[in-house]
Amino acid sequence: MRRLLCTSLIAGVLLGSSGQALAASPPAYRQEVVVAGSPFQGVHGLVVADSGHLLAGNLLGQSVHSIDLSSGAVSTLVGPPRGGADDLTVGPDGSLYWTGFFSGQLMRRSPKGETRVIARDLPGLNSLAFRRDGRLYVTQLGRGDALWEVDPRGEKKPRQILAGPGFLNGFEFGPDDRLYGPLLLKGQVVRVDVDTGKIEVVAGGFMMPTAVNFDASREHLFVVDAVRGELVRVRVATGEKKVVAQLPTGLDNLAVGPDDRVYVSNMVDNDIRVVNPADGSVRSVVAARLSAPSGLAVAPDDADEQLYVADVYALRRVGGRDGKIAQTTRVLSTPMVFPMHVSLGPKHVVLSSAYLGSLQVLDRATGAILRTIPNANGVQGALELADGTLLVAEATTGRLVKIDTAEPAGVTVLTEGLKGPVGLVADVAGQEPGVYVTEVRSGRVTRVRLSDGAKRTVAKGLRAPEGIARHPDGGLIVAEVGRKRLVRIDPATGRSTVLASKLRIGLPESEGLPPGYLPTGVAVGRSGTIYVSSDLDSALYRFVPVP
């Protein structure tokens, strides 16, 4: 196991909620790697820039990268927050164009390195491609459903071509100047005449086709099916299909090189692989073990300290001591919806996600999804109370709400006026059960009484606190993302102590995202080991008490 020295040693928290000493002497911690990181936070759009380099979009990481195909080395072309690319392409003049799914902006970077917005107000902006005559087309998906023509220079307003085609995703223009692309909602690959809006089906029977590209002959399309994990070759003239390679589920996009090798991105596995269609062989280009680790949870009675990791594109079980990934429930191939927070109850796992706005309750023993509850208010932390009610932090509205067990679910506001609530941890030991909540906008940790929603400030003066967990001795462990450090807070006095600094946490905020969007998760095992997720590194770290 590779170990890193913690960048700062700890001074201890002196008093706990009972007013008694929490520790006889200030503890120190040793920082270690549980799961090593990746340059991406889920990789998406791809384009072959030249014979030796591949360009890749990193939506959650808000960056555009270049990959050296000979070495696999990854460099950043456009960093956060402007580089949040779902898909990308290179224009006739060599400019790089990419789509901002969350920001609703279309970006252009000239060969001189000048970056600017050329279209706005298109939420869910997803795929893009140039026609041979230099006209540029983009689609909305998820947060919209439309095909647009956009001026590559940004001097004219976008013009809508199609409304509601059925989620037209990664597409390309063919030799006949028709647009070829997949319709996610219909399981089809279609041909679109962008001048008339006419749609024709080329091939059907896919589960979830996410992108297409032509081969060198321009007679076949390569198609990736996210649910089946298949790379399929389609003869355009007849619609005949052949599976070229079987890959893991979660495929997002592809690019075809001049030698007909197919580069495929997988957002669930956060990797890029290259397929030789001549023999179906597959080789890794860039590999990873986690995608975008955010919320963390560990059962307080688990001696092995198995971590539940909300990895955005999957819910994973990771050994806190050995880093082994034992269980994975993946999005797209299951009904799971992009988990960003996770909490544990005796029988259930609760997930919440601001990505597509939902909460989910899973059976802890089997992993089966029992309930899915829509919530578009920037849902962050969520807890299950003893009676099965869900307590949910809405970062956009500033509320804590209770969601009952009925179908359809009823919603009751417990309290409001919070400034970007993100992390939640229960406090049920006293006579007045409550919950501690981090407020990323106000820099506070607030206790909210469950009986009536009364609020009490526990600590203030923090900068962007996100993840929060309860230490076995009663202290609160908080990821203070704005200062890139881990702090410990005495819930009785509010006194805070820095545990570690200069942490690799804290992607910058981006337009179109709720407060604390990709949260830094914190969990504490029964041994007192503190676990922290890194959004910058897509890694998982632990802080082990030094005897």
Average pLDDT over residues 75-101: 94
364: nearest Cα among 324, 329, 391, 416:
329
CA–CA dist 151, 120 (Å, integer): 12
pLDDT at 5: 33
Domains 28-37+290-546 and 46-286 share a fold: yes
C-alpha closest to that of 253 among 138, 127, 147: 127
Calpha distance 126→150 (Å, rounded) = 13
**What is this structure's pTM?**
0.92
- The answer to whether the beta carbons of residues 68 and 48 sit under 8 Å apart is no
Among 177-181, 191-195, 275-279, 403-407, which is the least confidently predicted range? 403-407
pLDDT at position 356, please? 84
Mean pLDDT for the stretch of residues 17-43 = 73
DSSP letter, residue 482? G
Is the pLDDT at 3 greater than 70? The verdict is: no
CB 449, CB 432: distance < 8 Å = yes
Distance CA 317, CA 254 (A): 29
Model confidence at 194, pLDDT cuts 50, 70, 90, reads very high
Query: Quick check: 31 pLDDT over 90?
Result: yes
Confidence at 24, pLDDT banded by 50, 70, 90: very low
Q: Is the pLDDT of residue 391 over 80?
A: yes
End-to-end CA distance of the chain: 19
Q: So where are the chain's domains?
A: 28-37+290-546, 46-286
- What CATH number labels 28-37+290-546? 2.120.10.30
User: Is the peptide bond preceding residue 408 cis, with omega within 30 degrees of 0?
Assistant: yes
Residue-wise pLDDT tens digits, 462-513: 999 999 999 998 999 999 999 999 999 999 999 999 999 999 999 988 777 8
Average pLDDT, the chain: 92
Share of the chain above pLDDT 90, in %: 87
Domain 46-286 classification at class level:
mainly beta
Quick one: CA torsion of 421, 425, 426, 430, rounded to 10 degrees?
-100
pLDDT band at 26 (very low <50, low <70, confident <90, very high): very low
Three-state secondary structure readout of 499-511? EECCCCCCCCCCC
Instruction: Report the pLDDT value the prediction gives residue 143, as an integer from 0 to 100.
Output: 87
User: Is residue 283 classed exposed, middle or buried when 0-12, 13-18 and 19+ CB atoms within 10 A define those classes?
Assistant: exposed
Burial grade of 185 (CB within 10 A; 0-12, 13-18, 19 or more): middle
